[in-house]
Structure 1
Amino acid sequence: MATGSFQAQPLWSSGPVPGEIYNFPASKPASDARSHTLYPSTSGTTVLGLQYDGGVMIAADTLGSYGSLARFRNIKRLFKVTDKAVLACSGDIADYQFIKEVIEQKVRDDECGGYTRVLNAGALHCWLTRVLYNRRSRFDPLWLECVVAGYKDDKPFLGYVDKIGTAFEAKEVATGYGLHLAIPMMREAREKKPNMSRDDARKSIEECLKVLYYRDCRAFYKYQLADVTPEGVTILDDIDMKKETNWNIAHHIRGYE
């Protein structure tokens, strides 16, 4: 029997070598590994989006939770991208601030380049899908659930993208705990009024936010509301619903202390 060391060959060019640890090409080497976004420290909760007859409305509260601590109470998680697009995110606040800066720079580059076509909600939604899937494929995800509202081809648009690139369009969208509580409420409101008006949409969103404030320990009573119409974007900041809530029966609840 021949003696001596045997050097295994890669299974294919630049591929894995049998019996050795394989470094995926798109991943970072172990010495440069980072795990900041794998464990978000400060996070935001539900974002709600609802289409109505002639526009789109989205809302998000202003709380940044440090674990279970209501640490930051004036965090803006909703911003105007262009006159045809608004973005709101739940998840890691640091990742939201990062993607916000990238998008704002993208819009400035378009303006400086003299592009006449304005970035609309459909294009932003498609771009976010590619970016978030790319980061997920590099094992360095942006820990976000994004809601994009606005217009695409002069029609109302409402879309969702999450941290692994899952994306869809719908007339009612929610992230976080709102997926379980708010979506059924908004769908019921649409069943009652198929041609939902702006006032109907706002009433439905406010009712959902109130229920989330009651039930979600990461929710807050102050929120932002954006209304996107063909005329442009209107954002209302620091809306306070604390006076509209009623906690008279709270002392009857036991077992959750």
Structure 2
Amino acid sequence: MAFEFMPGATVVGISYNNGVILAAEKRVSFGNFVVNKNIKKTFSVTDHVGAACAGMVADMQVLVRQVEALAKIRKLETRRDVAPNSIAKLMSVIMFERRYFPLLTQVIVGGINTKPEIYTLDPLGSVLPDDYAAVGTGAEMALGIMDAEFKPNMTEEKAKELAVRAIRSAIQRDAASGDGIDVLVVSRTGHREETIPIRNA
């Protein structure tokens, strides 16, 4: 499996007292070539579940669209919101079914059910629950910041600050990451997005 040939990226997910923060930088690069400086890697799957992906842009977009459609059907059948762990399991099944021709993407799924939940998925569909996570070529730098500064039950503002700082740290050292940060906040009241520009990235 040549997962090391996936395009670079830095994506983080952090749980806080009332939801989760998903953040990703906007650069897409193959080797030394920057293909695009304005790609969205954070997605709202339902009102209370989001996903952030690193890897092949087409693969991440197809996966999210497919899961979004399945979640809508599931909601119509059960007449209630689909839980974050159900979304993560749906993605896992799709990715595992494609294991011989894998979707070259790593995913962080985050949302709120009775409490905030975060799951990391690799290209073969392994589901790993955690309080915070990072994927992509800049993940090591981002995790270094989050390991040192993450605290349970942080406020939304502190969690967002930490997510942005973790991605900024990765951007400074990872040439495949840069050009701004998309932030997706998923809370009990729904979701909202914002973009933070980065100078000289």
Fold match by TM threshold 0.5: yes
Out of 41, 55, 72, which is 2:19 matched to? 55
SS in 1 for 2:98: helix
Closer, same or farther: CA 119–106 of 1 in aligned 2, 3 Å: same
Residues of 2 paired with 1:206 and 1:148: CA distance? 18
Residues of 2 paired with 1:66 and 1:180: CA distance? 19
Matched, 1:185 2:149: no
1:1-257 to 2 correspondences below 5 Å: 43-110=7-74, 113=76, 115-136=78-99, 139-152=100-113, 154-190=114-150, 193-236=151-194, 238-242=195-199
Q: Percent identity?
A: 25
Residues of 1 paired with 2:196 and 2:182: CA distance? 6
Residues of 2 paired with 1:83 and 1:169: CA distance? 20
Report the residue type matching 1:100 in the other structure: V
Map Cα deviations across residues 49-78 of structure 1 (whole Å, 9 max, x no partner). 111122211101111213321111111111
Closer, same or farther: CA 177–41 of 1 in aligned 2, 3 Å: closer
Of structures 1 and 2, the one with the larger relative CO (CA 8 A, separation 6+) is 2
TM-score by length of 2: 0.89
Greater Cα offset, 93-102 or 211-220: 93-102
Larger radius of gyration: 1
TM-score by length of 1: 0.71
Report the residue type matching 1:52 in the other structure: Y
SS in 2 for 1:214: helix
Report the residue type matching 2:199 in the other structure: K
Residues of 1 paired with 2:30 and 2:138: CA distance? 19
SS in 2 for 1:175: strand
Q: CA deviation at 1:146?
A: 0.4
Residues of 1 paired with 2:51 and 2:105: CA distance? 12
Gaps spanning 5+ residues in structure 1: where? 1-36, 246-257
Report the residue type matching 1:53 in the other structure: N
Pairwise CA RMSD? 2.3
Q: CA deviation at 1:40?
A: 9.3
Q: CA deviation at 1:38?
A: 6.1
Alignment correspondent of 1:19: none
Report the residue type matching 2:86 in the other structure: A
Closer, same or farther: CA 104–221 of 1 in aligned 2, 3 Å: same
**Aligned residue pairs: how many?**
201
Report the residue type matching 1:174 in the other structure: A
Residues of 2 paired with 1:86 and 1:126: CA distance? 14
Map Cα deviations across residues 30-56 of structure 1 (whole Å, 9 max, x no partner). xxxxxxx96898835111011112221
